[in-house]
A and B are shown apart, each in its own frame.
Chain A
């Protein structure tokens, strides 16, 4: 018998004349199997999958191919099915899980209504509500009734994605297409959602097409892998074979670029002596609660509490945490985009000598500090004005600080472009002409235009493909060595910072819970949250799958951490030095 789905020679192009963006893609998939379509952005992995249920964007055209699907009523070619017949399959027999749960759900409709809609449009016989509650329970909502009546924005990110999964599961599908289902989630949430998908696949003998760029996710989920690059299949085969012994050079490069935690190192010592360029202590930031027309204002939000950091000249300190941990607020406070609560000390010692407390700077003093401290932002698409040419972007900081004349500024811009590996001939172009990685290089060049001593990088690589991420990280390290930069590196991803950081601070809910050099933090993690983060990072190795017990122990509320780490009624224990240079927040 044929497999559930056989795709043969799929080709897709934009417009009538353009070159195909997907060409000759073939794969087969049977019930109970998970097939991973792996590739970087632009590889055609999403297009290939969306073509199967007729969700191609309007500009994309099917050029050739067949997709034979064993539908309940007999075999059909999905690519040639008339729209009403395809609609009957969609949602019910073939369903989809999307990447971004917030935007994939309508904010105006209740979760229950959106999940139940699948049943209603397909004429479900029976109680829609009962079935919806059953599915909400199955995907792990602690209180299905409440979830049923909630609006998506009332749920956390992980629960929202569970709602999306419930929507995909409610019609008892045969095939589920999951498009980067966990990319938008925090690592610990990702681990639990991956486990949920695995369980559902097993319990319902689902065929799953998993679209992802993350080889760690692949290793944890897939039975078979298809590696795509520029619309063509590079390599296909069993998951462990492809990951452990990649045949194609592209796959080898991809596997090599995937971030992995360092193998535990023996040395775990105190921080090296040196003069700190930046020492921060007692740093807190409280945002006032919403003011209300009647009644007292909402309680204030403590974004950062009692943060301390010591950055030695020429070194890198990494601040790691999930969304809402306060790590980006720390970046804003150090760059003084925000003013810290009174009582903070942030001593900056420029190379020229002297020292000043930047926490209270204003006016000319603040402007002078900004020359020394620059920031690289997360999203290179949003951080560069689309209306300024690269030349204007790079010379603007020089103009603001009145450095050089017009010709000198232009020469400096050209030199910066060359320095970050781009051609000075492209200075006249606008940001949209560059790829994500190139844009981030431009953003870094802009940050370096003023020759700062201190560089704050807020998730500089999380919007980039893995191979590009590796390049940008390597470039940052190179620039640091060459220019003697000191860096504060903000990230949600422990494995990314493990290579670049000299010291790691792990944050949760505004507080540092563990601090040490990478060898300490990775080799001898003590705090349950750090352990959860490490356990939750998927590795491209089928032998080392996610350990959900460790994740569950540390990813919860700080009050739920085991003694001596747990907070008691919101009161956090202090940081304790358990080994030279290795600090953990625990009751002594």
Chain B
């Protein structure tokens, strides 16, 4: 198991390196960069004063070097004008547009994004697994139809619409706060119990909005998977042994049907991040979605590079978690990897 973990972490590091290169190349594909655009702008408007400062900054951030050198400097494998200072050294770069270090701007945002997505992920599984299982076992009953109905609505309703509806009625009838991820007075404050409480109540609506469609999809698939498993011979064996129905279903077919969903944890993370852009805009959530969109548009490369890399890390961690869970849950995978590792 430890050998397997080391192996997985090793491949993860290599994957991350490949992704960082890919990300950097892609965000540099559009011609020009933030500073060269600024310079062109200033030339057009005749602002000679700023041009020299901008050119200095180009040199300071090595934007005048070839892309591969820029990349190596970015990740910290090559010394820049100020020595080694890149991702490996914990320096995530400078946002040209906001004129502050990237980490200052997105540090809390990244954490909040992770929290929102984690909450949505938990919501997806907590809601979808029991509902899907009940729908499969009671296939054709009212509860199956009800679950299907809710599922279809979840799939068919655009997220931002659901967000607006929930915000309006949530605020009116349940006093659920509308918009944002915390009360205004806590913004920029250090973490405290009051702030945490505020974040949690603000999380309710976004979690439901972001998670609903994914939950509906998971529910439909679990229902189908479980219905396939329910009539397998090993379930009949359990019946013939006299195992009571609920215990029987949970212990045998449900466990068999769960594998694909465990494997999906990693895939759900990026889906949720990109899917939440629209919702974040509508609900003015300080998550990475809108930040990414904006920085890509203004070619603020270090900013967008960091956000894309962060999402990749989320995905990789999600996949690591699913792989570890699979190994723990399924002896077939466990014993195969043991045989390989040993």
Interface residue ranges, A against B (CB under 8 Å): 53, 55, 57, 87-92, 95-96, 98-100, 103-110, 114, 117-118, 121-122, 151, 153-154, 164, 167, 290, 292-294
Chain B residues with CB under 8 Å of A107's CB are: 234, 256, 331-332
A121 close to B243 (CB less than 8 A): yes
Is B83 at the interface (CB under 8 A from chain A)? no
Q: Provide the residues of chain B in CB contact with A109, threshold 8 Å.
A: 251
A167 with B331: CB separation less than 8 A = no
Instruction: Report chain A residues within 8 Å CB of B244.
Output: 87, 121
Contacts A108-B256, A151-B331 given; indicate if A167 touches B341 (C-beta within 8 A). no
Given A95-B240, A96-B240, A99-B233, output 18 extra A-B contacts at Cβ < 8 Å: A55-B240, A57-B231, A88-B242, A89-B242, A90-B240, A95-B241, A103-B232, A103-B234, A104-B234, A106-B252, A106-B256, A107-B256, A108-B331, A121-B247, A153-B332, A154-B335, A292-B340, A294-B340
Interface centre among B7, B233, B237, B242 (most CB of A within 10 A): B242
Partner of B236, one of A92, A98, A121: A98
A297 CB to nearest chain B CB (Å): 10
A67 smallest CB distance to B (angstroms):
16
Contact B240 A106 (CB under 8 A): no
The dominant DSSP class at the B interface is helix
Smallest beta-carbon distance A148→chain B, Å: 14
The verdict on B239 contacting chain A, using a C-beta distance below 8 Å, is yes
Does the CB pair B243–A117 fall under 8 Å?
yes
Cross-chain pairs A/B with CB under 8 angstroms, 8 sampled: A53-B240, A92-B242, A104-B234, A106-B237, A121-B247, A122-B242, A294-B7, A294-B341
Q: Does B100 contact A (CB under 8 A)?
A: no
A128 to B7, CA, bound (A): 39
In the complex, chain A residues whose CB is within 8 Å of the CB of B60 = none
In this complex, what residue of A is CB-closest to B232? A103
Once A100-B233, A104-B234 are accepted as A-B contacts, the answer to whether A91 and B240 lie under 8 Å apart by CB is yes
Nearest opposing residue in chain A for B139, CB measure: A58
**Do B331 and A293 touch across chains, with their CB atoms under 8 A apart?**
no
Of all chain B residues, the one with the shortest Cβ separation from A290 is B340
Residue pair B255, A118 in contact (C-beta under 8 Å): no
Q: How far is the CA of A92 from the CA of B241 in the complex (A)?
A: 7
> Which residues of chain B come closer than 8 Å to A153, judged between CB atoms?
332
Chain B residues with Cβ below 8 Å from A122 are 242
Complex contacts, B247 vs chain A, CB 8 Å: 121
On whether the beta carbons of A90 and B241 are closer than 8 Å, the reply is: yes
Per the bound structure, the CA–CA distance linking A122 and B341 in Å amounts to 40
B108 contacts the other chain (CB 8 A): no
CA distance A153 to B330 in the complex (A): 12
A164 and B233 alpha carbons, distance in the complex (Å): 12
Most B CB within 10 A of own CB, among A92, A99, A108, A167: A108
Q: Which residue of B lies closest to A99 (CB)?
A: B233
Contacts of A100 in B (CB 8 A): 233
Interface contact A118-B331, CB-CB below 8 Å: no
Known: A100-B233, A104-B233, A294-B341. A91 touches B332 (CB 8 A): no
Least Cβ distance of B238 to chain A in Å? 8
The digit string for B239-269, where 1 denotes a CB below 8 A from any CB of A, is: 1111110010001100110000000000000
Cα(A55)–Cα(B242), bound, Å? 11
Instruction: Report A-chain residues with C-beta under 8 Å of the C-beta of B239.
Output: 55, 90
From 188 to 238 in chain B, residues with beta carbon under 8 angstroms from any chain A beta carbon are 231-234, 236-238
